[in-house]
Structure 1
């Protein structure tokens, strides 16, 4: 197993623990309101775990590829270029993720994302929807307590399952190269 996948699995546990806290708080009798912010926090942590996985796996695989060039100017250039690009990689949607993998590992990893009815386009669309929701969770506070929640508890189960499968599938695609 890659170190990046191992780190993802540890990070995703933060989201699961936040949702457990949400469930426990939500069961308290006489509470004023549902702890909506915990679901948003779990969403943000889940997408952050995905973003970190993408950054880590590219760096991990590129470092392995450059091992024979270690200490050379070429390896230094490639490594510093990746480091600079990763500083600005904050939206790991399907297009940006595909671009990073193609540029640094010469692989369109999105072609392997076919577990939803064998259709990579559906997976990419779902990833983009989750990225959009994360943006809303990060940049938009809920001021209307009567408004519909950004994500419900069932959505968060789907979110966790989706990203676990996305990492598993991405890792498998890289192992096949």
Structure 2
């Protein structure tokens, strides 16, 4: 198993633990309200695990494929270019993810984004982009009106975690083929 996937597997547990904490805290009457921020935190941690996975995976694969070039000018150029690109690589939606893997590895990983429940690659790309947008809302838009509906429900947060676990699996598999 690659290091990037191992790190993702550990990181996604943070989101799962946050949802467990939500489950315990929602029944504490002294809080006076639902701990909605824990569901948002789980969403944010899930997308953070995804972003870290993409950055680690591209770095890992480029290093593996350029091992024979290490120390020479071409190898240094490739490594510095990737390092610079990753400084500005944030919020890996479907287009950004596709572009960075195509640029450095010649593989459109989004063409492999199909698994049970997400057989349609276009739907999978769109769902990733939806989760990215929702994460942006969770980060930048705190809920000030407690009467409005929550940004994300617990079942949605669980679905998000499952989605990204599946996405990492198929992305990893795609890169082991190519």
TM-score (norm 1): 0.97
Deviation at 1:29, TM superposition (A): 3.5
Deviation at 1:28, TM superposition (A): 2.0
Q: Corresponding residue for 1:153?
A: 154
Given that 2:110 and 2:121 are in contact with CA atoms closer than 8 Å, whether structure 1 keeps it comes out as yes
Q: Corresponding residue for 1:79?
A: 79
Given that 2:118 and 2:124 are in contact with CA atoms closer than 8 Å, whether structure 1 keeps it comes out as no
Residues 115-130 of structure 1 mapped to structure 2, 5 A cutoff? 115=115, 116-130=117-131
Q: Corresponding residue for 1:163?
A: 164
SS in 2 for 1:147: coil
Question: Quick one: structure 1 residues 97 and 117, their matched pair in 2 at CA, closer, same or farther if it must change by over 3 Å?
Answer: closer
Residues 58-77 of structure 1 mapped to structure 2, 5 A cutoff? 58-77=58-77
Question: Number of residue pairs matched?
Answer: 177
Q: Which runs of 5+ in 1 are unaligned?
A: none
Deviation at 1:117, TM superposition (A): 5.0
Q: Corresponding residue for 1:57?
A: 57
The answer to whether the aligner puts 1:174 opposite 2:175 as a matched pair is: yes
Give the root-mean-square deviation of aligned CA atoms.
Answer: 0.9
Q: Corresponding residue for 1:18?
A: 18
Question: Quick one: structure 1 residues 117 and 3, their matched pair in 2 at CA, closer, same or farther if it must change by over 3 Å?
Answer: closer
Q: 4+ residue stretches of structure 1 with deviation over 4 A?
A: none
Q: Which runs of 5+ in 2 are unaligned?
A: none
- Separation in 1, partners of 2:83, 2:154: 36
Deviations 1:96-140 (A, max 9, x none): 000010001100000000224521000000000000000001111
Given that 2:102 and 2:108 are in contact with CA atoms closer than 8 Å, whether structure 1 keeps it comes out as yes
